[in-house]
Chains A and B, each alone.
Chain A
């Protein structure tokens, strides 16, 4: 099934023409409405008229997450605030989040791409879909919600957590599809195995999972535990949220909705554009978004693109599962974490040295994070209650900044290895590749 065959199966040349037209209009719009972009284009000596076709895309400067932070909160919006109907935000360093805005049309476009995504997973108006992504500032919940409603499916907006209730509604309502993070799907699957629920009452057939890295082994495990077919969905709030790309029934990579989001693969060191099939950093230019258009936004995700027409009939480019990041960002339980954020918390607390080690692991399909922190001798108390209090305060400060519960291990001063060059701050034991 294809939701919008006109765009999803468009000839590559026709698509390139469409992208060129939309790009031209978008560049003109940001040039006149967003001072940040005007300045950047002027620095490169580019005027809107210089961008005529999709081949001119490479002339444009990159935009980075730092640019989004520098323009916090609304600096990159291309429309007056009156036009904004929705705001989402993701976690960011030093307490500042990345804010994204949507106009009414943006919400319609987002619903459209999520509708296409759900259709790829076989979801129709006859389905009952349990949206177990978090609802709120995170784009997962509401993104899937609107797309599912556009299709006409029956939406259960249960949000994340509350596992017993999830299983109960899954049984009582007869949910046929579920959307959540893959780690939560695996957790639900294990909980289902423990509950005394008759498997005949579970009618799930499709799962739409994303927002964090996962493996083929996890896919097989989730499919076995929940008795469904698991699909990978990709997105990032800066670009739109979930629904930037999605796996079709062929599961040969995720189709990028190129009529809205133009992908490029670049060499993260030089910024040079790489041909299809080569591994590099994924870059997106949004050509239809009104509230916050992005020009060549560097996602930091590393992947490859393939442009051959898919067996499903779609001509849209397919991206492979991301193999890593070109920066030091970690995705832990769906939360973006930069080691520098942990460092800033510790620096603010005078008791600890900025020497720390993050140990990330995955136990029972849930990410765990341990932060080893050196205790400064001058603040070392010989009373357990004081040290435990210190541990609790570090835990609380990390939780309030990152929304992540980390286990804190206090270690002796000098025991975390010092290195001359880039400090080894992270040990990631998760085996995802």
Chain B
């Protein structure tokens, strides 16, 4: 249920992100989803990739600061109110979300990647409410 996300520290330098995507392409690693948190001087790239451990290794070898973080992938209907309903459940249970990002998968569903301190609690309450969660096995092949 817990998914491994790759986080990479990137300085704001032209071409830095391209260097990273080039390395992943050369090593045949697919990026399923990503987001960038940006500040004036640097950004944090967060991505869900196929073969996260291998991706982390190859990026480290190329001098990137990489961290693997646990996240949850929550699947919500791709329609009005779909995200709201899921978030309502999380907030009703008093769980704080650190950050999240989403991608639509084309089959009338959207996947929301969530990072929180209490990931186990999120999994528990979402399952109670019969919300679908992304399985680790699926996600890396998305």
Contacts and interface: CB of A to CB of B under 8 A. Distances in A.
A412 B67 contact: no
A381 B67 contact: yes
B44 A382 contact: yes
A387 B9 CA distance: 10
Contact of A383 (B11, B66, B99): B99
A353 B60 CA distance: 17
Interface residues of A, number: 17
A54 interface: no
Interface in B35-84: 37, 39, 41-42, 44, 46, 60, 63-67, 69
B92 interface: no
Contact of B69 (A382, A409, A413, A415): A382
Contacts of B64: 412
A409 B10 CA distance: 12
Given A412-B11, A412-B63, A413-B63, A382 B46 contact: yes
Contacts of B60: 377
B65 A384 contact: no
Contact of A415 (B11, B39, B41): B11
B39 A388 contact: yes
A313 interface: no
Nearest to B69: A382
Most chain B CB inside 10 Å of its own CB: which residue of A377, A382, A411 = A382
B7 interface: yes
A376 to B, nearest CB: 8
B44 A377 contact: no
B98 interface: yes
Interface in A363-405: 375-377, 380-384, 387-388
A383 B37 CA distance: 8
A414 interface: yes
Interface of A: 375-377, 380-384, 387-388, 409-415
17 contacts: A375-B65, A377-B60, A381-B67, A382-B7, A382-B67, A382-B69, A383-B98, A383-B115, A384-B37, A387-B42, A387-B44, A388-B39, A411-B42, A412-B11, A412-B63, A414-B63, A415-B63
Q: Closest 3 A-B residue pairs measured CB to CB?
A: A382-B7, A377-B65, A380-B65
